[in-house]
Amino acid sequence: MRTKSQHSRMLLSKNEGGAITFCEGCDVLELEIGAVSLRIDSSSLELINKLMSEATTSMKTYTQEKARFTQAMEQNFGLH
Ligand SMILES: [Zn+2]
């Protein structure tokens, strides 16, 4: 029987935003973002990936729309 400390962990991904490791023994992913670490079920990875990617897309749209709005406001002010 293997104890928790003997579980081998695999580094799946790492960048400036954080790191994701996988514990084969627990079938758990560990997300490390700054000082926060989250343990999630390995089957949730795709859902979380979808969540992040949808948020990224929404954020891009928001930023673009905001820029367009600001630009439109400046044009309106330019008329006076
Ligand atoms: Zn483990």
Q: Which residue do the tokens 């406001």 mark?
A: 73
Q: What are phi and psi of 79, to 5 degrees?
A: -70, -20
Give distance in angstroms: CA of 4 to centre of ligand 1: 5
Q: What is the Cα–Cα distance from 59 to 3, expressed in whole angstroms?
A: 43
Give distance in angstroms: CA of 45 to centre of ligand 1: 17
Residue 80's pLDDT is what? 59
Q: What is the Cα–Cα distance from 50 to 55, expressed in whole angstroms?
A: 8
Q: What are phi and psi of 19, to 5 degrees?
A: -145, 150
Mean pLDDT by 10 residues, the chain (80 residues): 74 96 94 94 93 96 91 74
Residue 54's pLDDT is what? 97
Give distance in angstroms: CA of 29 to centre of ligand 1: 9
pTM beyond 0.75: the answer is no
Give distance in angstroms: CA of 5 to centre of ligand 1: 7
